Amino acid sequence: MEFVCKSEDFKLFGGAQEDGCSSLSAESLRRCFDSPNVGFAILDSQLRYVAINNALASLNGHPPEAHLGKTVRDILGDAAEAIESAAQNVLLTGKAMWFEFAFKLTTRTEMGYWLISLLPIRDSEEKVCQVAAVIVEVTEQKKLQETSNANFHPDERLEALLEFSGRMISTLDDEELLPAVSVFVKQVVPHDFSSIALYDKNIQRLRVHPLYNSFRLESNDIIVAASDAAYGPTFLHGEVRLHDHESLEASESATIEAFLRAGFQSLCLLPLISRTGTLGTLSFGRKEDKAFAPDEIPFLKQVAAQVTLALDNAAAYREIKELTQKLNKEKLFLQDEVRSAHGFEDIIGESPALQRVLAQVHTVASSDATVLILGETGTGKELIARAIHRLSSRKEANFIKLNCAAIPTGLQESELFGHEKGAFTGAISQKIGRLELADKGTLFLDEVGEIPLELQPKLLRVLQDQEFERLGSTRTTRVDIRLIAATNRDLAKSVNAHEFRSDLFYRLHVFPVRLPALRERSKDIPLLVRYFVQKFAKRMNKQIEAIPEEAMRALQTWIWPGNVRELENFMERSVILTQGSTLSIPLAELRTEIDTHPRDATLEALEREHILRVLRETGGVIAGMHGAAARLGMKRTTLQSRMQKLGITREEYQN
């Protein structure tokens, strides 16, 4: 039977939380329907079959199609009474129920035993509208109870199997999984030692995790080859293996030698086979020789099947969780990009200096070469980076940015490469780094000169090999990214001063693009002024129709140390001050700078005086919304760097 369901149509609950319920993923639902060992059905509020898998249809003795639209009583007759009562209770209370069911089906000649879990399905309004039934046959286990020499009470074993059956269909976290399996196998199988060996695709070997150990083996977690003499036949060929003392003695496996030295005489290995292949092996050991009887194998296989389903479900939950985290992270980045004000929506200007830059952008965009954008603060380096991305073959993928100057040094590695849970104090969950988010797309590193020396070799490795490890992980992650870096620092000088690695500099310097300062493209100032005036006037609901010629000449004469960003801030202030239809520009701010300097004054001297004047106006406050850095259109760190370079002291601007 083919079953098709949409995860958004319902939410399925099972397991224990504060309200007695926990979410079951759509992938887990699919696995339950596909399982050959677990019966699964969905009943509507009238207890009619909405869907049923092949396993349960076979148990009932009718094809799947014959169930649809029929009630439980139509199919099971008098046997439906207990199920009907329990299902009605689930519909009424919204709480799951687990119970044992015994009945002689019309298709069988003897009594059968079943473990049944009934779970509520809620609609979009959180009302219980359907019931899911998970059914596991335990007839063979019941028979074995009568002959088993186990010290466990039969009811305790069945109760443990029922409890684990309920828990295995809930979303178990990795940290909860192995302890839950350990408790389960201790309750249902008498043994002195148990372990689970899981295949790790990253290292192509088996990782052996002890579950229960009454003695002390020489090693807790063991890594062995998939072809190991102990685990290989079971893992590679799906064979159940029973070993007594004699066969253990004959084995050449170092693992079995350690097993013997610990005092164990019997070993049983069972394969953990899922729909996607063999996950690993489940092992039980006992101190007595020849302790595993052949008639015990069917029950042990059932235990292995339960463990396999739990592992399969946990893997699906882990994959869904990782994908959800990545999608949520990408969503946050995309929302942030939408909210960000980039200063201007497109590249504006007609000057020869700007046209040369745009020609370089068109030349390099079609390649995957690393681009290094150089220029003073406020010249539009991010805008050029976005233009390169839009013109490249990666334009449909993500454009992820990271401002290296805005993140504390200690957190840059985590932001860039990501980290695993527990990698450092405060790492309470796994974090996906910007590199993974930019996979198949473009990563833009702004202020790349601020990356600390100790982190630069890892970035160099990404550029050379396209691979890295998350912080706290040994797993290598491969990415396909195009890197664009930007800086307002002279990286060559930083290399000479041993503040930046030369090999990383040469790797970044594949295709440098140098952006002209605004004073080098004065022809573009009128275009930019008109654009910003229209932008802010529309936002403030003002009608500005004219810009005085005198004001425009003054704007073209000024050196704009903060470049386009400073011009934008100045235009916003001018629009705020404008009361009529003619733009009111505070020319006094510019005249003060122009008139107080001789015409042959250097640009550096003009910039120094301009910064000093703003510092005096802000009372020496550099950071914050009303600080000097904001008024100048610079970052705080950039302003402090310029002040140091220009020799500006505190005494000069503080009275």
**Looking at residue 100, which CATH number applies to its domain?**
3.30.450.20
CA distances, 22 to each of 133, 307, 471 (Å)? 15, 20, 31
pLDDT at 156 over 60: no
Specify whether 311 is located in the same domain as 346: no
Q: State the average pLDDT over residues 127-132.
A: 88
pLDDT tens digits, one per residue of 106-118: 666 777 777 888 8
Q: Kindly state whether residues 355 and 501 are assigned to the same domain.
A: yes
Query: Of 137, 168, 202, which residue is a domain's last?
Result: 137
The answer to whether position 325 is within a domain reads no
Residues 625, 535 share a domain:
yes
Q: How far apart are CA 289 and CA 574, in angstroms?
A: 93
**What band does 399 get if pLDDT is binned at 50, 70 and 90?**
very high
pLDDT classification of 141: cutoffs 50, 70, 90: low
Q: Give me the mean pLDDT over the 173-181 stretch.
A: 72
Q: What's the pLDDT at 173?
A: 62
> Are the CB atoms for 415 and 407 separated by under 8 Å?
yes
Which range (28-32, 137-141, 460-464) has the least confidence?
28-32
For residue 343, name the pLDDT band (cuts at 50, 70, 90): very low
**Is 205 among the domain residues?**
yes
Which pLDDT does position 31 carry in this prediction? 65
pLDDT confidence bin for 137, thresholds 50/70/90: confident
Whole-number percent of the chain with pLDDT over 70: 81
Task: Kindly tell me if the per-residue pLDDT of 3 is higher than 50.
Answer: no
Sheet with 241-243, edge to edge strand ranges: 222-225, 205-213, 193-200, 277-286, 266-274, 241-243
179 vs 399, residue with greater confidence: 399
Residue 334 covered by a domain: no
Instruction: Characterize the bridge pairing of strands 511-514 and 371-374.
Output: parallel
**Poorest-pLDDT segment among 162-171, 434-443, 529-538:** 162-171
Q: Percent of the chain at pLDDT above 90?
A: 19
Burial of 464 (0-12, 13-18, 19+ CB in 10 A): exposed
The reported pLDDT for the residue numbered 81 is: 80
User: How far apart, in whole angstroms, are the C-alpha atoms of residue 32 and residue 16?
Assistant: 19
End-to-end CA distance of the chain: 86
How far is the C-alpha of 604 from the C-alpha of 458, rounded, in Å? 37
- Summarize pLDDT for 532-541 with one digit per residue, the tens: 999 999 999 9
At 149 the pLDDT is 41
Count the domains in the chain.
Answer: 4
What average pLDDT does this structure show over 219-239? 80
Q: 253-294: per-residue pLDDT in tens?
A: 777 887 887 778 889 999 998 877 888 999 998 888 888 888
Indicate the pTM of the whole model: 0.46
Output the pLDDT for position 281: 92
| Range from 357-371, 449-463, 493-507, 552-566 carrying the lowest mean pLDDT | 552-566
- As a 3-state breakdown, the chain gives helix, strand, coil percent values, each rounded to 5, of 45, 20, 35
Q: Is 655's pLDDT higher than 70?
A: no
Task: Please tell me the predicted confidence (pLDDT) of residue 288.
Answer: 86
**Averaged pLDDT, 427-448:** 88
Are 474 and 557 found together in one domain?
A: no
Residue given tokens 């334009």 in the structure block: 395
Q: What value does the mean pLDDT take over residues 343-363?
A: 80
Residue 431: domain span? 341-514
Residues 182 and 286 in one domain: yes
Same domain, 115 and 157: no
Say which residue the tokens 């329990």 belong to: 86
What average pLDDT does the chain have? 79
Residues 497 and 529 occupy one common structural domain: no
Q: For the domain that residue 453 is a member of, what is the CATH number?
A: 3.40.50.300
The answer to whether residues 70 and 200 belong to one domain is no
Residue 241 has what pLDDT? 87
Final residue belonging to a domain, choices 114, 137, 160: 137
Higher pLDDT: 169 or 442? It is 442
600 plus 644 within the same structural domain: yes
Q: Is 64 among the domain residues?
A: yes
Per the domain annotation, does 332 fall within a domain?
no
Domain membership flag for residue 331 = no
Judge if 14 and 39 occupy the same domain.
yes
Residue 474, domain member (yes or no): yes
pLDDT band at 508 (very low <50, low <70, confident <90, very high): very high
What's the pLDDT score for residue 11? 35
570, part of any domain: yes
Q: CB neighbours of 419 closer than 8 A, spacing ≥ 6? A: 413, 427, 430, 431, 433, 470, 471, 472, 473
pLDDT at residue 24, rounded to an integer: 47
Domain limit, last residue, from 492, 514, 536 = 514
Residues 131 and 173 in one domain: no
| pLDDT (average), residues 488-514 | 91
CATH number, residue 178: 3.30.450.40
In terms of domains, do 184 and 284 share one?
Answer: yes
What is the rounded average pLDDT of the residues 154-168? 59
What average pLDDT does the segment 469-475 reach? 85
Length of the chain, in residues: 655
pLDDT of residue 471 exceeding 60: yes
pLDDT category of residue 558 using cuts at 50, 70 and 90: confident
